[in-house]
Amino acid sequence: MIDTAEKALYITSNLVNASYEVLRTDISSQGFRTSSKFSNETIVKMEARHLELLAKHKELDNSIDNTNVAANNFF
């Protein structure tokens, strides 16, 4: 059951990461910048938030690894 939960978390985590990558590509594209109604300041804030989310994603992946190791040691 732990292995199944871990695999499900990794799949979800990878889907979220793929979504972040698409978002980063969209925000960084010149087309987005010229066609959007966002100011440059707002786009900079969006990019900063994207970096925050990527860092949190890495923390989540590390937490999943640590939890898996702890569970395997416990059982």
Question: Residue 19 — pLDDT band, cuts 50, 70, 90?
Answer: low
Specify the higher pLDDT residue, 69 or 21. 69
For tokens 């059982």, name the residue: 75
Would you state the pLDDT for residue 7? 74
CA neighbor of 64 nearest in space, from 15, 19, 16, 2: 2
pTM of the model: 0.52
The Cβ of residue 46 has, within 10 Å, a number of other Cβ atoms equal to 17
What is the per-residue pLDDT across 58-72, written as a single tens digit (0 to 9) for each?
A: 888 888 878 878 888
CA neighbor of 50 nearest in space, from 20, 29, 22: 20
What is the per-residue pLDDT across 25-75, written as a single tens digit (0 to 9) for each?
A: 777 777 777 777 778 888 888 888 888 888 887 888 888 878 878 888 877
Neighbour-count burial of 55, counting CB atoms closer than 10 A to its CB (0-12 exposed, 13-18 middle, 19+ buried): exposed
